[in-house]
A = this chain, B = another copy of it.
C-alpha cells in the first residue's frame, strides 16, 4: 500500500477512535457476581492483572492472590492443595484484561466475587472491576485471611445485592459527569479520586435511604460507601474499560487501547491489532516511600491494570488537574503542567469533557498514538502505588511504559498492513 494512502487511513481511523473516546457516556449500572457479569468466566476461572503469564513466572504477591482466590471459591481447602491444582492445570487462570475486567494491583477476580458493572451508553460496551474490600484486600493486594473472607462475604451477600437494587431504581450513576466535576477538584482519577468518591456518596444517598432497607443493612452500605478508601477508583476503572472497549478493533487505528503490568511483564494493546499483546519487562516506579526503611529494592515492577486510567487520558496524563499529588512528593505546579503537556506530544486529541482549572479549562490529552511515541521517544507516564515484594503499598509514584512495547506494536502493525 502506498504511504500516503495508509497515512490517510490511519488518521481517519484514529479520528474515529478519538470520537468514541470523547463521546462515551459510561454509567455505573449494576453490581453482580463475576460469573454472571463477565463473558468467558467459569466456576474455576481466576483472573489476574496484567498480560497473561505462566504460573511459574508470576510474582509472589500475585501467586498469593491466585491461591487466595482458590480458597475463597473453596476449589481447594489448603494452600498446598491450591498450588497442586494450579500446577495440574485444573484452575483456569486468565488475564482479567482479556475479559474486559480491570484488576487493580494483583487484580484477582473469582467467579463469586462481585464486580461493579459500568456501561458506555453510546456503544453498549461494558467494563468490570471489583469493589475494594478496604485498604487491603484479596482483589487488590492478594491478601486472604478470615477478616478479608468476612468482608468479601459482606460485599457478596449484602452490599452487592443492595447496590444492585438501588442502581436499578435510580437508573445508574453517571460516572463521566462525576469524573468531570472531580477533575476540577484535584482528582486525576488514578492516585487521587477523593472528589469523585464524595460526589458519588452525595448522588447515591437519597436513593439509598429511600430503598426500604433494614437499618443494619443501610448502616453497612453507608459505611462501605463512605469509609472505603478510594471506593470510586474501581468505578472509574470499569468506566474507562467500557469506554476503551468501544475503541478496540478499529482497522488501521494506531491508538493504544490497553496498558497494564503483572509485576513481571508490561503489555499494551493497539486498536487495529485487537487483543494481541505487545510486552516487555515491567518498569519500576520512582516516587515517595511511605516510610524511610523502604526503597526501590523493596518494590516490584508495575503491577495492575489501573493504568487503564492513563490509557484513557487521565492519571499521569492529567497531572495538571492534581498538582497536589506531585507536591506531596516534592514536585511543583509547573511539574504538573509540564507532565500533562509532555503527554500531549504523544496523543491525538484533547479531552475537553474533563476541563482542568490550572490549564485555564483546557482538558488533558487523550488517545496515545504508537507512532507519536516512537517519533518522540516519549513514553506514557503512569501514576501508581509502589508495591512491596511481600505485598501491600509502600509508596506512591510514577513509572514509564516501556518503549519496547510500542516498537513491537508498530512492527506488528506494519506487518498486518504490509507496510
Contact = CB atoms under 8 A, between A and B. Distances in A.
Given A201-B205, A205-B222, 10 more contacts: A201-B202, A205-B205, A206-B223, A206-B226, A206-B227, A209-B222, A212-B215, A327-B360, A332-B360, A358-B358
Interface of A: 181, 184-186, 194-195, 197-199, 201-202, 205-206, 209-210, 212, 215, 218-219, 222-223, 226-227, 322-324, 327, 332-333, 357-358, 360-361
Contacts of A181: 194
A363 to B, nearest CB: 13
Given A184-B324, A194-B185, A202-B198, A219 B209 contact: yes
Contact of A361 (B185, B197, B209, B327): B327
26 contacts: A184-B186, A184-B324, A185-B185, A185-B186, A185-B194, A185-B195, A198-B198, A198-B201, A201-B201, A201-B202, A201-B205, A202-B202, A202-B226, A205-B205, A205-B222, A206-B222, A206-B223, A206-B226, A209-B209, A209-B215, A210-B219, A212-B215, A322-B357, A332-B360, A333-B357, A358-B358
> Which 6 pairs between the two chains have the least Cβ-Cβ distance?
A198-B198, A185-B185, A324-B357, A323-B357, A201-B202, A202-B226
A219 B185 CA distance: 28
A205 B184 contact: no
A205 B219 CA distance: 9
A361 to B, nearest CB: 6
Contacts of A332: 360
B226 A205 contact: yes
A405 to B, nearest CB: 33
Nearest to A186: B185
A169 to B, nearest CB: 14
Contacts of A357: 186, 322-324, 327, 333
A195 B187 CA distance: 12
A250 B273 CA distance: 73
A16 to B, nearest CB: 32
Contacts of A324: 184, 357, 361
A146 to B, nearest CB: 25
Nearest to A219: B209
Given A186-B186, A357-B327, A358-B323, A209 B218 contact: yes
A198 B197 CA distance: 9
Contacts of A202: 197-198, 201-202, 226
Nearest to A187: B185
Contacts of A223: 206
Contacts of A219: 206, 209-210
Contacts of A184: 186, 324
A226 B198 CA distance: 11
Contacts of A185: 185-186, 194-195
Contacts of A361: 324, 327
A202 to B, nearest CB: 5
A202 B197 CA distance: 9
Nearest to A212: B215
Contacts of A322: 357
A210 B209 CA distance: 12
Contacts of A227: 206
A183 to B, nearest CB: 10
A232 to B, nearest CB: 12
Contacts of A215: 209, 212
